[in-house]
Homo-oligomer: A and B are copies of this chain.
Amino acid sequence: MERSTGFRIDELAARFGLERRGDGMRVIRGVASLAKAQDDQLAFLANPRYAADLPKTRAGAVVLRAEHAPACPVPALIAKDPYLAFARIAVLFERAPAPAAGVHPTAVIASGARIDPAASIGACCVIEDGAVVEAGAVLGPHCIVGPGCTVGAQSRLVARVTLVTRVRLGKRVLVHAGAVLGSDGFGIARGEDGWVKVPQLGGVRVGDDCEIGANTTIDRGALDDTVLEEDVRLDNQIQIAHNVVIGAHTALAGCSAVAGSARIGRDCLIGGGAGVLGHLEIADRVTITAMSLVTHSIREPGTYSSGAPLEENRRWRRNTARIRQLDDMARRLAALEGRAPHKERNDE
């Protein structure tokens, strides 16, 4: 769908250090899926689920692992990690024009805000006193940068991003539409007559190269800051509560949520819809599968899960009703075995 003047296949092979199979002279002018690519487009095959599309492809070339090359009817570029190689090549064909530096006339800039002349501020943005926008930063329309907030160099707020209070973004941070960073943490203490709000006096620190998805929320800390280290990747509609710390290179999939003061290590993967309770610690290199709930600290790298299997509803009703009898069943089983209810053999 995106076209450019193009690159020859052998140019791409040389530029990205990939082995080439087949004709190197064809010109690639865009990228597309295996099933839809035309003869001037590059496709890729990473997930074996889509291997059936390979023999029929009309792509100009395909990035794939060596094992798939024999089945490829068109020129191939061999990569150990075809998805990664494709990601790097595809950037050549993505042509979002960089907006010009300067401040849109409808933007509202407080006198105490500091905006680098090499930054771009879109329509209807509001930059408040004490805010800083560094060189090369791009704010799309309708962004709000509140007091004590900094948008680091080369960072981009796509559109309608709100930085409420004391949010410091590093360099090259990308924030998608509707995200809210630096809102009050959910701190309430129960008094005699009702809830008493606990002032939220901390901020949010976001490291270099982080990405934050659409409508994701990150609260500011109660006292210390909420922290994302560098290269943390958050998908859409994620909730990060106050004083959470997330280690470098950790990625969270959509709709996951982390409760207050939890600390997640580096290089973790948190699945979609998963939850992490407050005040826990998760070690480095931990994977949590989708919709699992982390109820205790995890000290060892590895993959962890919770949740029951999907079943046809009537069968599920029968089986799930038995969960309520499980403790009873365990005791009866032990009694049949002729011994007292034993401690679990099989526990984590």
- Asked if A323 meets B324 with Cβ closer than 8 Å, knowing A160-B144, A180-B215, A239-B237, the reply is no
User: How far is A1 from B222 in the complex, measured between Cα atoms in Å?
Assistant: 11
How far is B31's CA from A279's CA once the two chains are assembled, in angstroms? 20
Question: Cα distance A296–B309 when bound, in Å?
Answer: 10
A183: chain B residues at CB < 8 Å are 158, 176-177, 213-214, 236
**Which residue of the partner chain, among B91, B188, B203, B259, contacts A251 with CB atoms under 8 Å?**
B188
Decide if A241 is an interface residue (CB 8 Å cutoff): yes
The reply to whether the CB of A10 lies closer than 8 angstroms to some CB of chain B is: no
Within 8 A of B (CB), among A162-205: 162, 164-165, 174, 176-178, 180, 183-184, 186-191, 194-199, 201-203
Contacts of A108 in B (CB 8 A): 104, 106, 123-124, 141
B209 contacts A93, C-beta separation under 8 Å: no
Q: How many residues of A contact B (CB 8 A)?
A: 139
* A90 on interface, CB distance cutoff 8 Å: yes
- In the bound assembly, the distance between CA atoms of A341 and B298 in angstroms comes to 31
- The secondary-structure label for the interface of chain A is loop
Q: Which of A217, A306, A313 has the most CB of B within 10 A?
A: A217
Bound-state Cα–Cα, A194 to B191, Å: 47
For the complex, is A77 an interface residue (Cβ under 8 Å from B)? no
Q: Which residue of B lies closest to A186 (CB)?
A: B235
- Among A126, A198, A223, A326, chain B packs the most CB atoms within 10 A around the CB of A223
* Contact A308–B310 (Cβ < 8 Å): no
What is the CB-to-nearest-CB distance from A133 to chain B, in angstroms, rounded to a whole number?
16
Residues of chain A whose beta carbon lies under 8 Å from any beta carbon of chain B? 1-2, 30-33, 35-36, 43, 47, 49, 81, 83-84, 86-88, 90-91, 93-94, 96, 104, 106, 108, 122-124, 126, 128, 140-142, 144, 146, 158-160, 162, 164-165, 174, 176-178, 180, 183-184, 186-191, 194-199, 201-203, 209, 211, 213-215, 217, 219, 223-224, 230-231, 233, 235-237, 239, 241, 248-249, 251, 253-255, 257, 259, 272-273, 275, 277, 279, 287, 289-296, 302-313, 315-330, 332-333, 336-337, 344-348
